[in-house]
Structure 1
Amino acid sequence: MKKGFYILILILTFSLACCRSSKWSNLDASQINGHPAWMMQGNIYEVNVRQYTPEGTFNAFAKHLDRLKSMGVETIWFMPINPISKLDRKGTLGSYYAVSDYTAINPEFGTFDDFKKLVQAIHDKGMKVLIDWVPNHTGADHRWITEHPEFFVKDNSGKAAVAFDWADTRQLDYKNSIMQDSMIAAMKFWVKRTNIDGFRCDVAWNVPASFWNKSIPQLRKMKNLFMLAEGDSTYLPKSGFDAVYPWHMFKIMEKVAKGEKTALALDSINKENEMLYPANTIQMYFTSNHDENSWNHADFGTFPGAVHAPFAVFSQTMKNSVPLIYSGQEEPVLRALEFFEKDPITFKNFEREKFYKTLLELRKRNEALSANTSFRKVLVGDEKAVYAYVREKGNKKVFIILNFSGTEQSVSLKESSLLGKAYNVFEEKEFFLNAKERKIKPWGYEIYEY
C-alpha cells in the first residue's frame, strides 16, 4: 500500500512538473510575425561586464539585477563571455571579440557555474538573456588554429589570415563545411548548457547567408531564440535574423543632432527601409552601444546634454524598433569606456533612470509601441525641426512630438482624432490637447497616451 502510494505521488509530481514545463514552453514559444512574442514590446540592455563593476565579474554584476528590473529592463545582452586570446592581444586585457575558445568562460568574469547561476537569476526575475557571438573570426591563438588549421582563410605565407585590419584576430573560412558544423555545435552548446534566449552576432554581415540559413533553423529547434545581427545588409533578415542594426538611420540621427540635416531627413530613411527590408524586419534602435561609445563618443559626444533626450525617445518609440540601452547610459557615463583595459563605471547619480523607466514601462504596457504596429507622421509645426507621429494598434494609441532643433518651436494640433483628453506620459497627468498654438522647448519631447 505504501509503495503504491509513493508511486502515485511520484506520478502526480512528474505530471504537474510536465504541465508547468509545457505551459512555460508554450508561452515562451509563441511568435508574432515570425519573431519571439516576448521581444515585440521588449527592450535590450547591453552589459559590458568588465567595466560594469570594480570587480568586473558575473557575481558583482548580479547585484544590479533588481535595479535593472525595476528600471524596466527585459532582455540583457552580454558582450562576449569567452576567453580572450593572448597572442597579439591589444592592451593589457584584450578585446572581447578576439575569442580563444567558443565553449569556455573568460576567467576574468568568473566561472562557468557563475554564468549559469546568473542566467538562472535573470530568468527568475522574468528577464531574458542574449550572448554576443563572434562567428566571423577568432582570436589569434584560438585552439582551432592548431587543431583545425583548415578552418581558416590563409594569408600569402600560408598562415591563418588576419580578419580585416584587426591584428588580434584570424579570419574563419566559411567554405569549410566542417568548420560551419563546429560553429553551430558551439552555439548549441550555450543554449543547451546555460539556457540563454538568443544571440547577438558580431560582424554578421561578413558571414554568408548560407550559414545563417543552415544554423538559425537548427538553433530554433532547441528554443524560441531571438537572433540579432550586427549589420544592416538586406540578406540578414531574409536569412532568419529577427533584427538588424539601423545604421542608416543612426547616421542621419547624428547629422540631425549636429544641425547638418533637418528632421525631414528621417523620413527618407523610413522610406528607404520600407524598400530594403521585409515588412516584418525589426531594427534595434539606440543612441549608444559599446562600439559607438568607445570609438565615436556616443552618446555624450554625438547627442550631448539636452540633445540626447528627443533622440532617446525616438529610439524607444520608432516603428519596427526594439530599443537598446548601453551600460551606464542611465547614470549617465559621459566618457568613452576603455576597450582593452579596466575602466569601471561609477554608478552613483542615476540621473536618467526615471527617464528610461518611463519609456520602458510605456513600451511594455502599451501595445501601440510593439515592433509590429502602425506608424504615421502628423504635421504640427515646422517639419524641418518638429517630428511628430502616431503609433497605433486597435484602441491603443501613442502620440509623440519631438523638437529636433536647438530653438523653441511653435506647435499646433489640427487632427481631430488627437484632440481632447490624453495622458501626458512624462508629466504623469491627464492633459487636454486642443488646436491652440503653443511652444515646445529646444530639444523638447512630449508623449501622450489615449
Structure 2
Amino acid sequence: MRRLALTAFASLGLLAASCSEGGAGDSSEWAPRDVVTLENPDWSRDAVLYQINTRQFTPEGTFKAAQEQLPRLKELGVDILWLMPIHPIGKENRKGSLGSPYSVQDYYAVNPEFGTEEDFRAFVDAAHEQGFKVILDLVANHTAWDNVLAKEHPDWYEKDWKGDFRPTPWWDWSDIIDLDWSQHGVREHVGGAMEYWVREFGVDGYRADVAGYVPVDFWNMMRQRLEAIKPVFMLGEVQQTAWHHAAFDATYAWDWHHTSKRIAKGDGNATSLYGYYAENESLWPRQAMRLTYIENHDSNAWEGTIYENYGPALEAMTALAFAGEGLAMIHNGQEACNAKRLEFFEKDPIDWSQGRDCQYGELLKQLIAFRTENPALHNGKWGARMHKVENSAPEQLFAWVRQQDGNKVLGLFNLTGRPVSAELKDGLPAGTYREFGSGEEVTIAAGDTIALPAWGWRLLASK
C-alpha cells in the first residue's frame, strides 16, 4: 500500500510538471471543438421541402406532366422538390403490378414509366429556371433482385444462413436484396451513381433512403465528393446526431412525428413534447435540420391519412411543424386535402379537384410565407431556438418564443381537445405583435390570460 501511495504521489508530481510546461494539462487541449464540418447551402436557409411521387402526382404519372405543375408549386411557396426514386423498378419478386420505386433495377437509368432521360433533364432544367432545387431519392441499402449487379457481382450482396441473397432482416421487404457495404465495389458503384446525376443532370442533392443502414463514413465521403461538383442538400432517413457532422443537412424527426400523432389521439398532452425539444436543443448539433413532417409517402400508405392520424388536431400540429424548430415539408396531395391512402405498388393518382375548396391548402401557403417573413423561424443554424413560456396550464398550453435580431415569434398552442384558459407566468412573451392570418396588432404582457378553444392556436410575430 505504501509503495502504491508513493507511486501515486510521484505521478501527481509528473502531471503537475507537465501542466506547468504546457504538456497534457495545456488549456488548449480542453478547448471546445466543433465536430460539424459541412456547410449548409445558403438556399436551404428558409426552404420547405415538397415530396413528389411521380407515379401518383399526375394522371399521366410522367416527368412531362409533373413539369406542368411547377408554376402551381411555385405559387404554393415550396423550394426543394424531392422526387421519389426515378430508376427502373425490378420485376423479380415485384410487389403488386407496378412494384415499389425503392426496388431499384439500375442506378444509372430512368424508369420508362416516367419518361426518358431527356424528359427528366427537361424537368430539372425547368425547375431550376423557376427557382426550385431538385433532390433525388437514393436507395443505397438494397437493390432489386434482378439488378444487374446481382448477376455480375454476387459477392457484393449480403447472404442468409444458406448462402443465398436476402432482403433486409426482419422487415417484409421481399422485393429487394441487401448490398454488402464492406465491399469496395458497392461503394464505388453507388457513389459513382450519386456523382453521375449531380454532374450530368444538375440535381441538387439527395434524400437517402434508410440512411442509417449504410455506414456513415460512406455518406461523409460522398458529401465531400458531391460538393466538389456543386453545393448540395442532403436529407437522411435516419435519426442520429453523427449523420449531421459531415454528411447530412437534415434527418428525420421520427420522435416528433409519432409524439404529435399520440397527442392528437389523446394519448399525450403538451408536456409530451418536452423530451423531444429538450433533446433537440441539448444533444443535436446547432446546424441540424430535423424533418418535422405531418405526412410522407410511408405514413400515408402504412399509417393513415392526415385526417386519420390527426383528426381535429391537424391544423394545430401543422402550424407547429412549420413554425417550431424543424425542417417543414409537404407530401404531394396535402395541399389538396387528399383524404385517401395512396396505393404504393399500383397506379393511384391524386384527386386534385378537391383542392379547389381545400382551406388546409391555403393554410399551408400562409405558413410558408410566415416562415419566410420571419428569420427567427428559418432552418438550422439560421433560425432561433424555442424557449418555453411558463404558464398555469402546462399540460394544455404549449407556449414558446423564438427570437433573433429583433424578430420575435410567440407560439400559443392548445394541444388538447378541451378549451384552455391559462396565465402567462413570465415576461418572455411580452411585446407587441401582428397576429398570423389577420395581421391585427396584439399586445401581450406578463400575467395575461390566454384563452384558446380545443386544438386552438395562435402565432404572433414582431419585427
TM, length-normalised to structure 1: 0.89
CA contact (8 A) 1:254 1:303 kept: yes
Deviates more, 1:329-338 or 1:213-222: 213-222
Task: State the superposition RMSD in angstroms.
Answer: 1.8
Larger radius of gyration: 2
Aligned-residue offset at 1:69: 0.8
Instruction: Decide whether aligned partners of structure 1 residues 220 and 86 sit closer, same or farther in structure 2, where only a CA change above 3 A counts.
Output: same
**Which range is displaced more, 235-244 or 94-103?**
235-244
- Please give the per-residue CA displacement for 1:341-370, whole angstroms capped at 9, x wherever unaligned: 111111123312210111101111211101
Q: Decide whether aligned partners of structure 1 residues 243 and 438 sit closer, same or farther in structure 2, where only a CA change above 3 A counts.
A: closer
> 2:230 aligns to what?
223
User: Is the alpha carbon distance of 1:290 and 1:360 closer, same or farther for their aligned partners in structure 2, counting shifts above 3 Å?
Assistant: same
Name the structure 1 match of 2:76: 71
CA distance in 1, matches of 2:307, 2:259: 17
2:324 is equivalent to residue 313 of structure 1: no
Selected match of 1:428 from 424, 439, 445: 439
Q: CA 1:422 to 1:276, structure 2 compared with 1: closer, same or farther past 3 Å?
A: closer
SS at match of 2:95: coil
Q: Distance in 2 between matches of 1:163 and 1:322?
A: 29
- The Cα shift of 1:233 comes to 2.4
* TM-score of the two chains, using structure 2 as the length reference: 0.87
Mark the runs of 5 or more structure 2 residues left unpaired by the alignment: 1-35
Instruction: Give CA-to-partner distance per residue, 1:265-290, whole Å, 9 cap, x none.
Output: 21111222334422321101111100
Matching of residue 365 in structure 1 with residue 352 in structure 2: no
Shift, 1:438, TM fit:
4.4
Paired AA for residue 102 in structure 1: Y
2:197 is matched with which residue: 190, 201, 221? 190
Q: Name the residue aligned to 2:135.
A: 130
Listed one character per residue, the Cα deviations across residues 356-401 of structure 1 (whole Å, up to 9, x for unaligned) are: 1111011112111012222201124411011111111111111111
1:448 equivalent in alignment to 2:460: yes
In the alignment, is the contact (CA less than 8 A) between 1:300 and 1:335 conserved in 2? no
Q: Distance in 1 between matches of 2:284 and 2:62?
A: 39
Q: Paired residues, what number?
A: 418
Moved more, 96-105 or 349-358: 349-358
Q: Does residue 1:325 correspond to 2:336, yes or no? A: no
Does residue 1:399 correspond to 2:410, yes or no? yes
Q: Distance in 2 between matches of 1:417 and 1:383?
A: 15
Instruction: For residue 416 of structure 1, report the CA deviation from its aligned partner.
Output: 4.5
Identity percentage over the alignment? 35
Q: What letter is aligned with 2:306? A: D
Cα distance 1:381–1:347, how it changes in 2: closer, same or farther (>3 A)?
farther
Matched, 1:108 2:120: no
Q: Cα offset for 1:151?
A: 1.4
Equivalent position of 2:43 in the other structure: 38
d(CA) in 1 for partners of 2:295 and 2:37? 27
- Code of the aligned partner of 1:356: L
Higher mean C-alpha deviation, range 108-117 or range 211-220: 211-220
Measured in 1, the distance between the counterparts of 2:121 and 2:305 equals 32
Q: Measure, in 2, the Cα distance between the counterparts of 1:211 and 1:32.
A: 15
SS at match of 1:106: coil
Whole-angstrom distance in 2 between the partners of 1:328 and 1:291? 14
Query: Match for 2:152 among 134, 144, 147?
Result: 147
Counterpart CA distance in 2 for 1:279 and 1:437 is 33
The alpha-carbon deviation at position 415 of structure 1 amounts to 4.6
8 Å Cα contact 2:38/2:246 also seen in 1: no
Alignment correspondent of 1:284:
291
Query: Equivalents in 1 of 2:450, 2:221: separation in Å?
Result: 56
Local SS of the residue matching 1:379:
coil
State the one-letter code of the partner of 2:409.
V
Gaps of 5+ in 1: 1-30
Asked if 1:356 corresponds to 2:361, the answer is: no
